[in-house]
Amino acid sequence: MATLTLAFGLVVEGQRQGELVGWVTSTEDSFYPPDIAQGGVDLDALVVIRVPDSRVIPRAGEKLLRSGAFGLVVLDIGTADIPMPLQSRLAALALQHHAALVCLTEKGSREPSLGSLISLRVDAERRRASDDRFACELKVLKDKRRGPTWTETEFCCGPAGLR
């Protein structure tokens, strides 16, 4: 839950900057659109691609990046993996088109990341701060620019089902 909350914070920021945002997920997994709309996401400006097999999520993301139209592409891959050659292509396309690429995975903090090409890896945790507020904390596990020495905490109101 904290992962999605914080990822949609990036979506809101991208939309505020006028960027087109793409979100790729499987048909087995998704988010609840009214909750993210309540959090500030413009649903009419969010391109959502749902594929039947999570293993093809990175390939769909590659097509979005290759178009050059997206400033942010989020790949919600869960437990799937991305082969290193495909990671290389995704990284090159993101760089070429000045886009941000975010991969959401279901991995423990002690498990290896997707690979050496990942420039920023974080672990997200949520804890109740009050009756209707949650603290969503990012703990940096790897940061090629600043080093893994920082955390970020954002306080959020949970959706109606969590309050």
Residue 140's φ and ψ, nearest 5 degrees, are -75, 125
Residue 80's domain is classified under what CATH number? 3.40.50.300
Count of domains for the chain: 1
Termini Cα distance of the chain: 14
Going by C-beta distance under 8 Å and a sequence separation of 6 or more, which residues neighbour residue 110? none
Domain span at 67: 2-116
The pLDDT value recorded for residue 9 is 87
Q: In this structure, how many other beta carbons lie within 10 angstroms of the beta carbon of residue 90?
A: 23
- Please state, in angstroms and rounded to a whole number, the distance separating the CA atoms of residues 104 and 151: 18
Domain-embedded: residue 152: no
Domain-embedded: residue 67: yes
pLDDT in tens, 7-65: 888 899 999 999 999 999 998 877 889 888 988 999 999 999 999 988 899 999 999 99
Residue 26's φ and ψ, nearest 5 degrees, are -90, 165
pLDDT in tens, 63-101: 999 999 999 999 998 888 899 999 999 999 999 999 999
